[in-house]
Amino acid sequence: MAKKKSSLVNMLIALFVITLVSGAVLGEIYMLTKKPIEDAKKTKTENAVKEVLPAFSSLKEYSVKATDLKKGDSIIFREAYDEDGQLVGTAIETITDKGFGGRVKLMVGLLPDMTINKISVLSQAETPGLGAKMTGIFKDQFDGKKVNGEMKVKKDGGDVDAITAATISSRAFCDAVNRAINYYKQEKGE
């Protein structure tokens, strides 16, 4: 086989073919992985709801547009009821864009008496070993905390122990929790 002459046209054709094949392969991989990724996200959310709320038998889900966020995202509420139809708690999927690494997404479990049951971190991109510690013991300090006012780190006059060397991440976490509580109160007419 004779070597093709190196010309602009031949190089453009080769580049076009490589781009076309690469695009087709990437598109196919995307289509193959799209459903499993969506299923994994759904499962993670369902597990987070179960983690942050007491035992329940049914859920009622609704969302409210978050007017205080630039992207116009929604805060998602999942009200949990026992077999007698009594509200046992509300799982609130909340977000903030104030994290050091960007967006932080939480699931806050709020009991009917305005006590935080538990919090689960759905996603975050904070610095490993620093802000990413929010997924561990940091979030546990909110468990059983009665909501009366804004959650703030001690540095800002609150009672939340910040993650050492990660005050921005700690403030972002508090911001997401406060957003959940404020939208909950707004929905309940408080």
Give the CB-side neighbour count of residue 17, counting CA atoms within 13 A.
Answer: 6
Burial call 34-57: b when 16+ CB within 10 Å, e when fewer: eeeeeeeeeeebeebbbebbeebe
The answer to whether residue 14 is domain-embedded is no
pLDDT score at 126: 87
The answer to whether residue 20 is domain-embedded is no
The answer to whether residue 10 is domain-embedded is no
The answer to whether residue 61 is domain-embedded is yes
Read off the pLDDT of each residue in 104-111 and give the average, rounded to a whole number.
94
The answer to whether residue 134 is domain-embedded is yes
Q: List 75's β-bridge partners, or say none.
A: 64
The answer to whether residue 2 is domain-embedded is no
In the chain, how many domains are there? 1
Of these ranges, 17-26, 129-138, 149-158, the one predicted with the greatest mean pLDDT is 17-26
Q: Give Cβ neighbours of residue 87 (< 8 Å, ≥ 6 apart).
A: 79, 80, 81, 112
pLDDT score at 2: 65
Burial call 76-94: b when 16+ CB within 10 Å, e when fewer: bbbbbeeeeeeebbbbbbb
Which residue range is the domain that position 165 belongs to? 53-188
The answer to whether residue 34 is domain-embedded is no
160 pLDDT higher than 80: yes
The answer to whether residue 32 is domain-embedded is no
pLDDT score at 117: 95
Read off the pLDDT of each residue in 183-188 and give the average, rounded to a whole number.
90
Q: Which of these, 85, 173, 88, lies nearest to 136 by C-alpha position?
A: 173
Model pTM above 0.85: no
Length of the chain: 190
Q: List 61's β-bridge partners, or say none.
A: 78
Mean model confidence pLDDT for the chain: 90
pLDDT score at 119: 95
Residue pointed to by tokens 């700690």:
170
pLDDT score at 33: 92
3-state secondary structure of 78: strand
Q: Which of these, 118, 123, 135, 141, lies nearest to 52 by C-alpha position?
A: 118
Q: Which residue has the higher pLDDT, 71 or 125?
A: 125
Percentage of the chain exceeding pLDDT 70: 98
